[in-house]
């Protein structure tokens, strides 16, 4: 077992990183004076990981879409009782989520954190899959899939991703389809569990009113050592071009909603990808914040309303800058955004705007250091992205307006944009 204390060169905050003898990476942030604790036990296993092999496999295994989400649901059941019942006895809030590139199991509490940590480490390491409980879950998740298919915002996102990506599995719904989950059985779940829930592919992140020695003692007791299985995940080749530039669907919504996404290149180096994410965040906010010329003009012309916003969405093999909101004239929004980026390419990034946006993001990063849940989630996020726990905040000050300019010039071009629209049914 190895241990290191990692300190931010910017804020002076520190966390403890332990590479446990079991293979698990453990991140502990002792936050004295705080009353709560937030913990995540996560694996680098999400909906995009549909093709993989280990060092023991000659061939790649391809699994049904949605199986990572299905597995997450099933881990909350064991032979004795449901996990939520155990958390209820200690007063903790338990939860979990599966996204494109990760699955995380969570608890938050203000007392009994050692008992809750025992529950967390215990149930995630005790899979219990049977023919009967798998068939039962297929019906439950099938209903969930149908519900999300009726969710306009969910449809908006996945319509955009399907119009953007030809082959990458990010284009597939996280929960899969009714047909794909019908292919899942107990044996397949155990195979995916043994592959991706290997502790060498996982991390524990815990922050708040905790004690390092107590956390590590529980880990020593409950973690089951395992050999690194040499996991390798692969993705199909993805061309630079989008599938189509526009996709529209009609649903019963109160007003037309849209997402305008730009398909960007991904970086093979994890730190370069993380820095690019920060650069892209500044680039998108330059034109989307309420103080920007574009926002003001589109509001005054009644083309957008106050729901207009931007975000960056990136992971293993995908990178998208998204502008979204409500508008009866989404094509005009697309045209205006493209023209605004063209102006920046012609005239350069306004230094005053750049510094202002940078201060806004930096201030947010600093404030987050006082939020137990955000601190724990950030450590887990950076583990998943294969970067240090303070990489974001320590790197942010090095970003220049030239970085932002080059990103806009090379990545945010009209030919790489996809406009996804949900119109009011009946119009």
Q: Would you please indicate which residues are annotated as catalytic (active-site) residues?
A: 72
Spatial contact of 242 and 414, defined as CB atoms under 8 Å apart? no
Nearest CA among 217, 225, 221, 210 for reference residue 28? 210
Pairing of strands 417-424, 246-251: parallel
From CA 229, how far away is CA 238, in angstroms rounded?
27
Spatial contact of 162 and 243, defined as CB atoms under 8 Å apart? yes
Give the neighbor-by-neighbor strand order of the sheet with 232-233. Answer: 61-62, 51-53, 232-233
Q: Which residues are CB-contacts of 174 (< 8 A; sequence separation ≥ 6)?
A: 46, 47, 66, 68, 69, 98, 99, 100
Structure tokens at 250: 């009609």
């Amino acid at each position: 077992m190895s241990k290191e204390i990692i300190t931010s060169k910017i804020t002076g905050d520190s966390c403890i990183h332990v590479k446990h003898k079991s293979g698990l990476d453990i991140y502990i942030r002792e936050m004295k004076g705080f009353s709560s604790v937030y913990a995540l036990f996560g694996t680098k296993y999400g909906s995009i990981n549909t093709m993989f092999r280990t060092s023991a496999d000659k061939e790649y295994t391809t699994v049904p879409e949605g199986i990572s989400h299905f597995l997450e649901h099933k881990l909350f059941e064991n032979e004795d009782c449901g996990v939520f019942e155990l958390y209820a006895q200690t007063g903790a809030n338990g939860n979990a989520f599966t996204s494109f590139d990760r699955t995380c199991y969570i608890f938050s509490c203000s007392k009994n954190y050692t008992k809750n940590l025992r529950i967390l480490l215990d149930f995630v390491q005790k899979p219990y899959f049977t023919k009967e409980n798998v068939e039962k879950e297929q019906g439950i998740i099938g209903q969930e899939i149908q519900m999300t298919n009726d969710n306009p915002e969910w449809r908006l996102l996945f319509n955009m991703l399907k119009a953007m990506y030809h082959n990458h599995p990010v284009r597939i719904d996280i929960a899969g389809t009714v047909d794909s989950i019908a292919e899942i059985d107990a044996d397949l779940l155990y195979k995916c569990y043994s592959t991706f829930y290997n502790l060498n592919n996982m991390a524990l992140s815990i922050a708040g009113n905790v004690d390092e020695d107590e956390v590590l003692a529980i880990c020593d007791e409950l973690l089951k050592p395992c050999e690194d299985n040499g996991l390798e995940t692969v993705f199909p080749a993805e061309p630079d071009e989008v599938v189509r530039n526009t996709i529209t669907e009609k649903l019963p919504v109160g007003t037309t909603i849209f997402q305008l996404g730009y398909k960007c290149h991904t970086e093979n180096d994890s730190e370069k990808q993380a820095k690019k994410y920060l650069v892209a965040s500044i680039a998108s906010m330059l034109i989307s914040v309420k103080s920007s010329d574009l926002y003001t003009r589109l509001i005054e012309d009644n083309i957008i309303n106050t729901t207009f916003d931007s975000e960056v969405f990136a992971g293993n093999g995908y990178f998208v800058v998204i502008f979204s909101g409500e508008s009866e004239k989404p094509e005009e929004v697309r045209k205006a955004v493209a023209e605004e980026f063209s102006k920046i390419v012609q005239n350069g990034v306004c230094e005053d705007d750049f510094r202002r946006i940078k201060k806004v993001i930096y201030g947010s990063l600093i404030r987050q250091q006082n939020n137990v849940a955000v601190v724990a989630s950030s450590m887990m996020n950076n583990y998943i992205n294969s970067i240090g726990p303070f990489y974001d905040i320590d790197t942010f000050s090095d970003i220049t307006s030239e970085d932002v300019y080059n990103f806009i010039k090379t990545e945010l071009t009209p030919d790489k944009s996809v406009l996804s629209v949900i119109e009011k049914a009946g119009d």
